[in-house]
């Protein structure tokens, strides 16, 4: 049976609203999931969903009602809210029929990641924009990337924009935080070929050989890669630009290179 909350000033609702901010997620160790598709994917990934707020006036579809029943069976607390409460929870988005609250899962380390013989991994150095991080995760999932490694970053993995832009891939793809020293040691110990994307890279990205264990390193949107990546630990590659711009958006660049790697691997397999 659902409990009912009609006031936006309810303390429980105020705690949920705080999950829209990084500080709230860090202090509560929980996050918000917007969207039916994303909630389904969180369930499929066995995330612990603790509460679900729903507006009965908007939650009329059979699939939405079935989802509520499934979440209740998972021991999530159902909270029936008024339109005013849902408007506050939606925080400037179109008003959603339901919003889920989930626990942030325990993080994994590089020791938990055993690369297969043909592993492709993406390494991100200080990606600043949540939408870009989410889009990269969506690309990585589509291009058969085994894991995404966040190097020396302060990435907010459960920012609502990451979840939305990743289309829920963030729940299924291994994403690991590590220092640069840890990443470099792990790559060397597992004999990865590492490709660092730079505007002035030595070779065109299509000339890279991404078969076997390969790592693609992407840098921050504004400054690119740091000097941590150099000729001794990586091959610098570039995407040729034929217009007035000198580079692509980092998520677009990642997609171009990941699908080139997938093309090479598929061609070899066939």
Beta strands (DSSP E) in 188-227 are 193-197, 203-204, 214-218
Domain identity same for 128 and 13: no
Domain identity same for 176 and 137: yes
Model confidence pLDDT, tens digit, residues 189-229 = 999 999 999 988 889 999 999 999 999 999 987 788 999 99
pTM of this prediction exceeds 0.85: yes
CATH number, domain of 120, equals: 3.40.1280.10
Under the phi-then-psi rule, with left for phi > 0, alpha for psi from -120 to 50, and beta for the rest, what region is 127?
beta
Domain identity same for 199 and 249: yes
| pLDDT for the residue numbered 107 | 85
Domain identity same for 141 and 213: yes
Q: Which of 69, 103, 137 is the last residue of a domain?
A: 103
Coil, strand or helix: which one is 217? strand
Domain identity same for 90 and 116: no
Pick the closest to residue 198 from 112, 125, 262 (CA basis). 125
Residue 205: HSE in the Cβ half-sphere, 13 Å Cα cutoff: 25
Domain identity same for 90 and 164: no
Model confidence pLDDT, tens digit, residues 7-49 = 999 999 999 999 999 999 999 999 999 989 999 999 999 999 9
What is the extent of the structural domain holding 216?
110-269
Report CA dihedral (31, 62, 8, 164) to the nearest 10 degrees. 30
Domain identity same for 243 and 128: yes
Per the CB < 8 A criterion, the answer to whether 52 and 101 are in contact is: yes
CATH number, domain of 91, equals: 3.30.1330.30
Domain identity same for 187 and 61: no
State the pairing for strand pair 98-103/30-34: antiparallel
pLDDT tier for residue 270 given thresholds of 50, 70 and 90:
low
Domain identity same for 90 and 133: no
| pLDDT for the residue numbered 92 | 66
**Number of domains making up the chain:** 2
Domain identity same for 146 and 99: no
Model confidence pLDDT, tens digit, residues 79-137 = 999 999 999 998 766 778 999 999 999 988 999 999 999 999 999 998 889 999 999 99
CA distance 36 to 157: 19
Q: Which of 53, 78, 103 is the last residue of a domain?
A: 103
| pLDDT for the residue numbered 269 | 66
CA distance 26 to 7: 25
Domain identity same for 91 and 183: no
Domain identity same for 150 and 84: no
Model confidence pLDDT, tens digit, residues 244-269 = 888 889 999 999 999 999 999 998 66
């Amino acid at each position: 049976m659902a409990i009912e909350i009609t006031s936006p000033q309810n303390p429980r609702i105020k705690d949920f609203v705080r999950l829209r901010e990084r500080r709230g997620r860090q202090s509560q160790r929980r996050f918000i999931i917007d969207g039916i598709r994303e909630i389904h994917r969180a369930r499929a990934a066995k995330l612990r969903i603790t509460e679900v707020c729903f507006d009965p006036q908007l939650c009329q579809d059979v699939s939405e009602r079935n989802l509520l029943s499934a979440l209740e069976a998972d021991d999530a607390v159902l909270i029936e809210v008024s339109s005013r409460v849902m408007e506050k929870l939606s925080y400037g988005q179109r008003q959603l029929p339901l919003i889920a609250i989930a626990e942030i899962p325990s993080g994994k380390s590089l020791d938990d990641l055993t690369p297969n013989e043909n592993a492709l991994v993406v390494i991100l150095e200080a990606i600043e924009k949540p939408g870009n991080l989410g889009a990269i995760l969506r690309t990585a999932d589509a291009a058969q990337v085994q894991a995404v490694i966040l190097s020396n970053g302060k990435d907010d993995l459960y920012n609502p924009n990451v979840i939305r832009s990743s289309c829920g891939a963030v729940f299924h793809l291994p994403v690991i935080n590590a220092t640069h020293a840890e990443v470099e040691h792990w790559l060397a110990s597992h004999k990865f070929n590492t490709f660092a994307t730079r505007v002035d890279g030595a070779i065109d990205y299509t000339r890279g050989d991404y078969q076997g264990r390969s790592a693609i390193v992407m840098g921050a949107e504004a400054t690119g890669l740091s000097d941590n990546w150099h000729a001794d630990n990586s091959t610098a590659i570039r995407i040729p630009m034929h217009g007035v711009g000198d580079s692509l958006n980092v998520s677009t660049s990642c997609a171009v290179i990941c699908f080139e790697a997938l093309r090479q691997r598929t061609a070899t397999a066939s």
